[in-house]
Structure 1
Amino acid sequence: METEKIDLLKTYLSLYINHTVVLADLDKEDSKYVVLDVRNAPAQIKKDQIKGAFAIPAKDLKNHIKEFDKEKIYVVYDWTAGTTLGKEALLILLSEGFKAYELACALEGWKGMNLPIEEIQ
């Protein structure tokens, strides 16, 4: 039973990426990561996003999947780690054969650590 729990936890944790890994690569011109803001809300509600992120609501992701580069690694985030939009987006990307993770800290944690954000225009 303990082995099953350990295997489940390993699988669960493999779906997430730590913010330090993403931050270390984001400023590079040839960054392998593409950060996607998958919140389903208009800009006036969202107000800000992770600096350099691309906004694509989870509900629209499947319709734009052909625009994505299979050579990149996609990092999706939602409002908080407990919400499901990031997980829904991750499922779509992984099911379509992309390399992808959910950002472990979500937007809430990112902002709580005073990491780079930008206003949505």
Structure 2
Amino acid sequence: MNNKKIEFLETYLSLYIGHQEVLEVAGPDSPYVILDVRNAPVQVKKEQIKSAKAIAAKDLSSSLDKLDKDKTYVVYDWTAGTTLGKQALLILLTNGFKAFELSCALEGWKGMNLPMEEIK
């Protein structure tokens, strides 16, 4: 029984990436592209993780042709408990992209005072 639990947890944790790993290679040559997949208008979102690309989860399937399969995508939603990040991750992985969900979501990123920017 414990082996099944361990296997499940290893699989579950492999879907996530931490903020530190993303930040260590931030910049124009980063292998990561951060995707803001929140389904909300700009006036509600107001800010995003610095340099994130906004593609709402509801629009992701129809936007896959705009993504580079050589990059690794890091998706985030409002909080780690919401499902949009997981839905976006499923879409990306199912379509052959390398992807992770940001383990701390936007809530954790902001809570650690990591780089943010206003959405214009």
- TM bin, normalised by shorter chain, reads over 0.9
Aligned amino acid, residue 19 of structure 1: H
Aligned residue number for residue 3 of structure 2 = 3
Aligned residue number for residue 58 of structure 1 = 57
Aligned residue number for residue 119 of structure 1 = 118
Aligned amino acid, residue 68 of structure 2: D
Secondary structure at the counterpart of residue 76 of structure 1: strand
Aligned length: 120
Determine the C-alpha separation between the residues in 2 that align with 1:33 and 1:23: 10
Residues 56-97 of structure 1: CA deviation (Å, up to 9, x unaligned)? 100000001011111000000000000000000000000000
Extract unaligned runs of 5+ from structure 1: none
Aligned residue number for residue 37 of structure 2 = 38
Determine the C-alpha separation between the residues in 2 that align with 1:117 and 1:79: 14
Extract unaligned runs of 5+ from structure 2: none
Q: What is the CA distance between 1:30 and its match in structure 2?
A: 1.2
Equivalent pairs: percent with the same residue? Answer: 68
Q: TM-score, normalised by structure 2?
A: 0.99
